[in-house]
């Protein structure tokens, strides 16, 4: 499996790692002083459960910042699956640096691998439908870019990264603007140069969005018959030359996502993949 390329929005790894190390080390790792400064060591990190591995750039940066003399040998490619008991990577270098960086490195790896693993489960559940799993902005504060990257490692796609790279007209915007048509018109007038997306709560709002040929139409908790009708209207719109994508959101679970994908929607956004986080159990041992 090829290495997952870092998207352009992941431009804060060094700063994120710096903050994480400062949070853990503070004025200094006093326990590491028990180890002679010149002592070298080797260690390996093992997965205690099956997972999709994600977080290598953050782990590498942890040890680069602590001591560039530490070398890492990854046994698993980013985005690949490991089994319980499998070695993920090995380390060699100054023992103090290995011990000081252990928890921060594993915190990144367990969190991002947990996100990627969750995404992979949802993606596998809808395999073959042509539908994609999309993320939301329901991410851990300070780890938005990292978790968005983990979604890609798990086989999902990113919605907008933040409030700056896409206009998403939601129900409160529609109410404040005096209706969906007025809200879309005002958004077009901004000339922001970013994708224009809108929610729709009724089929009439679906029609208004399609008339405006928005980039993405988001339907939230539509009933089955409404959702299938929305799919048909979007398909008819695209047959006439439109390009609007249809996304479903709202209370999606592993048990319900396949039926939703089978309706023909293009994407299904799942907040749980980034906010209901199960961190992967990992262990580092000196060898």
**Residues catalogued as catalytic:** 103, 138, 170, 199, 220
Phi and psi at residue 52, to the nearest 5°? -95, 120
Tell me the C-alpha distance between 16 and 217, whole Å: 33
Q: How far is 190 from 16, CA to CA, in rounded Å?
A: 33
């Amino acid at each position: 499996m090829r290495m997952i390329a870092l998207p352009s929005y992941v431009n804060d790894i060094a700063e994120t790692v710096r903050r994480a190390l400062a949070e853990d080390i503070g004025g200094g790792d006093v326990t590491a002083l028990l180890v002679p400064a010149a002592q070298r060591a080797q260690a390996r990190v093992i997965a205690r459960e099956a997972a999709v591995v994600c977080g290598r750039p953050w782990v590498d940066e942890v040890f680069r910042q602590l001591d560039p003399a530490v070398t890492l040998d990854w046994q698993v490619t980013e985005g690949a699956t490991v089994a319980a008991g499998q070695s993920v990577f090995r380390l060699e270098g100054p023992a103090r640096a290995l011990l000081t960086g252990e928890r921060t490195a594993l915190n990144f790896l367990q969190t991002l691998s947990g996100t990627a693993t969750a995404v992979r489960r949802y993606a596998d559940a809808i395999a073959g439908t042509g539908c994609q799993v999309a993320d939301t902005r329901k991410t851990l504060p300070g780890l938005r870019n990292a978790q968005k990257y983990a979604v890609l490692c798990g086989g999902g796609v990113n919605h907008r990264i933040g409030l700056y790279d896409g206009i998403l007209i939601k129900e409160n915007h529609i109410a404040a603007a005096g209706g969906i048509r007025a809200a879309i018109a005002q958004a077009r007038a901004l000339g922001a140069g970013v994708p224009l997306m809108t929610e729709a709560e009724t089929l009439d709002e679906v029609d208004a969005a399609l008339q405006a040929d928005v980039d993405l139409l988001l339907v939230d908790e539509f009933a089955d018959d409404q959702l299938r009708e929305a799919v048909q209207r979007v398909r008819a719109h695209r047959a006439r030359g439109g390009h609007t994508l249809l996304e479903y959101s709202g209370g999606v679970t592993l048990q319900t996502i396949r039926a939703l994908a089978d309706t023909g929607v293009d994407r299904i956004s799942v907040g749980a993949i980034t906010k209901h986080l199960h961190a992967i159990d990992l262990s580092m041992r000196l060898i």
